[in-house]
Amino acid sequence: MNRFFRIGPDYFNEAAYKEFDYVMDSAARHGTRVIIHFSDNWEYYGGAKVYAQWAGHENKNMLWTDPKANEYYRQTIKKFITRKNTVNGKLYRDDPAIFAWDLMNEPRNENDPTGEVLNKWIEETADYIKSLDPNHMVTTGSEGYYLGEDGTHYSGSDFIGGHKPKSIDFCTYHIYPTYEHNSYAFSTVKWLLDRWISDAHNKVGKPVVMEEYGIASNNPAYPKAKWINDMTGYFFEKGGNGVNYWFFIDPSYTYGDGFEVNPTETEYMNVFIKHANRINKNGY
């Protein structure tokens, strides 16, 4: 599979886009809706740093303020939104298989711990997306960090301020209780979920999606099926609006990070089916 949609500032890899066309057509045929993010804060496949480098900067945080870096980023956005699927002929901006556009996976601006710079970029970029595509929702891809009492956070990300712009349609956060630097008790998880759900609904006035959550395998302190069940159930009981588990894989896929679930693992799949049926109410 072609890994890179863009190779350098002047070359869009059409082979990669055609493969993604197939993915989107398959999603439509199977009743699946997709959240598409345009890039990543992290460097696994290039990420924010590449756009800054194309504009002559080594610091990836220049993306948030440099006009040239933003021009390159908006080119990527426009390329996706205005594309016509080569498999089914649908324009992406008209495709109901797209649930929402994600500005970026886990955007951070460590250069500005107040969050003001990143919030401004979120607002302006979301407005740009809406100018090209008024048909789909837009969200931030944010991890859910809060500013402290001093008005700062090391990530430069602000859960409240970052989700307030009019062109942002719902709030997101990411949570991994089993990470070594977390090792959360379930009471801590409940406290966090309560806060995100309440603040999204009452302070921001928008729905909230637990956009990433995962439980590591083979950790006796965290029975995976039970934790997936309890986290998912608690989130919806408290009024949460949607979840995306990280992550589901094909049984033949061999590159996992310990959080993965494949369809042959019925212990886990039955949990997701149970909660999907609860939400659907009428079952399959």
Q: What is the mean pLDDT of residues 122-134?
A: 98
The residue ranges of every structural domain in the chain are 1-169, 170-284
Does pLDDT of 83 surpass 50? Answer: yes
Say which of 143, 211, 212, 260 is annotated catalytic: 212
To the query of whether residue 106 is one of the catalytic residues in this protein, the response is: yes
Q: Token match 């990470």: residue? A: 179
Question: What confidence score (pLDDT) does residue 284 get?
Answer: 43
Q: Which member of 58, 106, 110, 149 is catalytic?
A: 106
- Structure confidence at residue 282 (pLDDT): 53
Among the residue ranges 122-126, 161-165, 277-281, the one predicted with the least confidence is 277-281
267 a catalytic residue: no
At 21-63, the pLDDT tens digits run 999 999 999 999 999 999 999 998 899 999 999 999 999 999 9
Look at residue 18 and tell me whether its pLDDT is greater than 90: yes
Q: What is the pLDDT of residue 279?
A: 87
- CATH match of 1-169 with 3.20.20.80: yes
1-169 and 170-284 share one CATH topology?
yes
pLDDT the model gives residue 1: 56
How many Å separate Cα 251 from the centre of its chain?
Answer: 23
Tell me what the mean pLDDT of segment 213-225 comes to. Answer: 96
**What pairs with residue 210 in β-bridges?**
173, 243
Span 170-284 CATH architecture: Alpha-Beta Barrel (3.20)
